[in-house]
A = this chain, B = another copy of it.
Amino acid sequence: MTRSSAAAAQKLAGAAPLFAALGEPARLRIVAKLCEAGGPLPIVRLTRGANISRQAITKHLHALSDAGLVRNERNGRESLWRLEPLRLEEAQRYLGLISARWDEALGRLRALTEREEG
């Protein structure tokens, strides 16, 4: 690997916790709920409908929070959780980077082989 690709690999490795946080159905459902609500939700609301305990939801929320995907704010006796779209877009850009580079490299390879064959 070149030095630049090593740097890219470093950045990608740093993105792993982000994907790991999203790589759980329960957490993805939480994200979807927050997305659908269009605003912050308390834990009770997030627990409603999910067939797991409130503590499980809390743990997942903390996992999402550690990944920077979510943020909480205490309001009286309830804690409201909101999405952090910037972080989501960051993850999105990572994937775009990879697929774009692969397509590009593949294109170069194809052009090269075609030139050799032609």
Contacts and interface: CB of A to CB of B under 8 A. Distances in A.
B29 A13 contact: yes
A43 interface: no
Contacts of A98: 31-32, 35, 83, 85, 88
Interface residues of A, number: 49
Interface string A16-43: 1111111111011101111111110000
Contact of A35 (B19, B35, B101): B101
Nearest to A88: B99
B89 A102 contact: no
A13 B35 contact: no
Contact of A38 (B13, B25, B39, B102): B102
